[in-house]
Amino acid sequence: MARIALIEDDVEIRRLVADALSKEGHDVESADRAMEGLQLAVKGSPELILMDLGLPDLDGEELLRMIRAVSSVPVIVITARDEDHSIVQTLDAGADDYLVKPFSVAQLEARVRAILRRSAGDQVPDTVEVGELRINVAAREASLEEATLDLSPKEFDLLRVLAERAGEVVSKRELLAEVWREPYGGSDRTIDVHLSWLRNKLGESAQEPRYIQTVHGVGVKLVDPSE
Ligand code: CA
């Protein structure tokens, strides 16, 4: 449970996000303007801020810089494809993570959980296990049946993202956003190639999958093959 400030001018999205986070037990305060949001950020002492970049009264990136000038609270920015902000620029301006519209409630909750977990420090185990797969997120090490896997940085990130959402179908677009940080570009082909390398290292293939299952037309999911 956390105090979360939500700055978003789109009524629908604001309601959707506020409802989803309240259901998770968070205490959500929202604002639909940047200046009102800044007040919330300063006076409400939130533990997390979710803010839209396309706000009516002030450029979201400006707002982010203003928040950063006074607070180190984790910030997740919400961006739309048609808003002309590069993700790199936004992260440079001090965002901790981002969500690209349209996003699912599951995605939103996963990002919020991850950020709150990170800011909670080291009480949370940083190892994810799925079947005989062990992924040490902090050390960036992975093993299968006790044998260390020799993964490239991208392969590791691919495996980590899938493992953190084990059992859930992750779309290629989400993988591009998470692993390549390129929600606006990149190609499915890049993912297919890396997935095939990763499968190889896990001793499986698309034809004979074990951990990495393709859900045609939707994406891929990581499963425990013994279940
Ligand atoms: Ca907006």
pLDDT tens for 56-82 read: 999 888 999 999 988 889 999 998 865
CB under 5 Å of ion ligand 1: residues: 9, 52, 54
Beta carbons within 8 Å of 133's beta carbon, 6+ residues apart:
142, 143, 144, 159, 163, 202, 211, 222
pLDDT of 84: 57
Give the Å distance between the CA of 162 and the centre of ligand 1: 30
Question: Higher confidence at residue 30 or residue 165?
Answer: 30
User: Quick check: do 3-121 and 125-222 share a fold?
Assistant: no
Boundaries of every domain in the chain: 3-121, 125-222
Give the Å distance between the CA of 122 and the centre of ligand 1: 35
Tokens of 179: 């692993």
The correct CATH number of 3-121 out of 3.30.710.10, 3.40.50.2300, 1.10.3720.10, 3.60.21.10 is: 3.40.50.2300
Which tens digit of pLDDT belongs to each residue from 73-130? Answer: 999 999 886 555 677 778 888 898 888 888 888 889 888 988 888 777 644 457 899 9
| pTM of the shown model | 0.58
Give the Å distance between the CA of 169 and the centre of ligand 1: 28
Terminal-residue alpha carbon distance, the chain: 31
Q: Provide the CATH topology of domain 125-222.
A: Arc Repressor Mutant, subunit A (1.10.10)
pLDDT of 122: 46
